[in-house]
Amino acid sequence: NKKVFIFDLDGVIVDTAKYHFLAWQKIAKELNIDFTLEHNELLKGVSRVRSLDIILELGNVEASQEDKDKWLIQKNEDYLTYLVDMDESEILPGVFTILKFLKEKNQPIALGSASKNARPILKKTGILSYFNVVVDGNDVTNAKPDPEVFLIAAKLLNISPENAIVFEDSVAGVQAANIGKMTSVGIGEASILHEAKYIFKDFTEIDTDFIEELIRK
Ligand code: B16
Ligand code: MG
């Protein structure tokens, strides 16, 4: 049975959460909303539009659509300035080893991210060529925990969801994989990602035997 290995982007391949945080914090400051690193956890895996709504809810701020649109543009323009200097040194530990192993084994690799900036990030970090398909925030209408982003990726490669393995750092992403009947692999804290079928702290904890086992299953 042919498998597909689907990777989330932020929190799995790179840590762009720190840049999202800096950009959102500027908006929050302007609006006098207290926005901490702890709050930032709530935005992981969540779309840009929903992220802004969460921040406004935190500050009990009501805003017009016009203002929201303005802040969304402002946030993204600021976020993009942090991406300018990104390079392959920002690939999280252990990720390269697994990507290379999957390539050696001729396994299809997909990206399944909520971000609309996924392609430039993959290009800047030099790993775009590892991916057989890239499905991101530009391709979906339903955000995680809806499995749409992962289902599209599997479908593009003609692989049934049961044969898809999803690496995710967010609760919503793990739920999306589970709802889609895929094998969920949580990357992060077991206490947070307990719904995942397998959980690892990071990719350095995943050995190639485990990947081989997934391929054979
Ligand atoms: P953008 P992922 C997600 O990426 C981030 O975790 C989330 O914090 C962000 O709001 C979302 O992408 C949208 O990003 O503003 O670049 O479209 O974890 O799904 O790879
Ligand atoms: Mg993520």
169 is catalytic: no
HSE-up (13 A, CA, CB side) for residue 61? 21
Retrieve residue 54's tokens.
């969460």
- Protein residue closest via CA to atom 13 of ligand 1: 115
8 is catalytic: yes
Residue 175 identity (one-letter amino acid): Q
% of the chain surpassing 90 pLDDT: 97
> What is the DSSP pairing of strand 183-187 with strand 198-200?
parallel
User: Are the beta carbons of 73 and 97 closer than 8 angstroms?
Assistant: no
Neighbours of ion ligand 2 (CB under 5 A): 8, 10-11, 45, 169-170
Give the chain's radius of gyration (CA, Å). 17
Residue 109 identity (one-letter amino acid): I
Question: Does ligand 1 come within 6 angstroms of the Cβ of 75?
Answer: no
Residue 33 reports pLDDT greater than 90: yes
pLDDT tens digit sequence for 164-203: 999 999 999 999 999 999 999 999 999 999 999 999 999 9
Question: Does ligand 1 come within 6 angstroms of the Cβ of 117?
Answer: yes
Beta bridge partners of residue 200, listed in sequence order = 187
Q: What is the mean pLDDT of residues 129-134?
A: 98
39 pLDDT band, cuts 50/70/90, is very high
Instruction: Compute the Cα dihedral for 133, 138, 141, 147 and give only its sign.
Output: positive
Report how far ligand 2's centroid is from the alpha carbon of 17 (Å): 8
pLDDT for the residue numbered 118 = 98
Where do we find the tokens 């339903």?
A: 142
Strands (E), the chain: 4-7, 109-112, 133-135, 164-168, 183-187, 198-200
- Protein residue closest via CA to atom 14 of ligand 1: 115
Q: What is the mean pLDDT of residues 33-38?
A: 95
Pick the catalytic residue from 8, 34, 67, 136: 8
Question: Does ligand 1 come within 6 angstroms of the Cβ of 109?
Answer: no
Question: Does ligand 1 come within 6 angstroms of the Cβ of 52?
Answer: no
